[in-house]
Structure 1
Amino acid sequence: MKKRVTLTFPRTAIQIPITYRLAKDFNVAANIIRAQVAPDRMGKLVVELQGDIDRIDEAIEWMRMQSISVSSASGEIVIDEESCVDCGLCTGVCPTEALILEPQTFKLKFRRSHCIVCEQCVPTCPVGAISTNL
């Protein structure tokens, strides 16, 4: 079973070795999709948890007991095709090549099946044509 979640850490929980504890204590693999963590500040991780559903639920409950906010990250990237100017800036930051420029037309193509919703493209778009649908 896979489950994508967003973890928000208060300053007091930043030093907890989350991925180690998930693997060691719960046998849950955590694939980090996006991370914004700095010492003595609030942190945020988007992770895909993989393992037995009961163990994932136990791990989520343990994280909540550590004052870590856990929310579902089931959103997806949305592109406003009327606003998009096909500049291609988003293609340079997309780690999975979900966003590409068609070689013949130089039009932006979004391959949703490749997207991991890392959201790196959202702030890159100069005209704000890319957003998330959460």
Structure 2
Amino acid sequence: MKKRVTLKFPQPAIQMPITYRLAKDFNIAASIIRAQVAPNQEGKLVMELSGDIDELEDAIDWMRSQDITVSLASAEIAIDEDACVDCGLCTGVCPTQALTLHPETFQLNFTRSRCVVCEQCIPTCPVQAISTNI
């Protein structure tokens, strides 16, 4: 089973080897989608966790016991097709290639099943045609 989660680390937990602990202690594969961590500040990770459902739940409970805020991702990316100018800037930051330009028409294509809602495309859009739906 896979779960997409957002983790917020308090300053004391920033140095914790979270992906190592998830793999070693819970047999969970963790793919980091986006990371915002700075020394002496809070950190934020968007990750996709893969593993057995019971081990995933145990891992999430353990992270919460370490004062890490765990939010299950339920948001989806929405594209306002009327506002989009098909510039393609969002395609350059999309880590999963959920956003691509059609090779002949140069129109933006969005493959929702590939999107991991990392939100990297949102600040990249010059006309603010990309947002999240919760």
TM-score normalised according to structure 2 size: 0.93
- Residue segments in structure 1 that go unaligned for 5+ positions in a row: none
Which is worse superposed, 46-55 or 119-128? 46-55
1:61-83 CA distance string (max 9 Å, x none): 11111110001113221100111
Distance 1:115 1:4 in 2: 11
Distance 1:114 1:27 in 2: 24
* 1:122 alignment partner in structure 2: 122
Number of residues of Structure 1 aligned to a counterpart in Structure 2: 134
Deviation of 1:39 (Å): 1.5
Let me know the Cα RMSD of the aligned residues.
Answer: 1.2
Distance 2:13 2:55 in 1: 21
SS in structure 2 of the partner of residue 5 of structure 1: strand
Which is worse superposed, 107-116 or 69-78? 107-116
Deviation of 1:53 (Å): 1.1
User: How many percent of aligned residue pairs carry the same amino acid?
Assistant: 73
- Residue segments in structure 2 that go unaligned for 5+ positions in a row: none
Contact 2:76–2:117 at 8 Å: present in 1 too?
Answer: yes
Structure 1 segments of 4 or more deviating over 4 A?
none
SS in structure 1 of the partner of residue 105 of structure 2: coil
Distance 1:77 1:61 in 2: 27
Distance 1:55 1:87 in 2: 42
* 1:83 alignment partner in structure 2: 83
TM-score normalised according to structure 1 size: 0.93
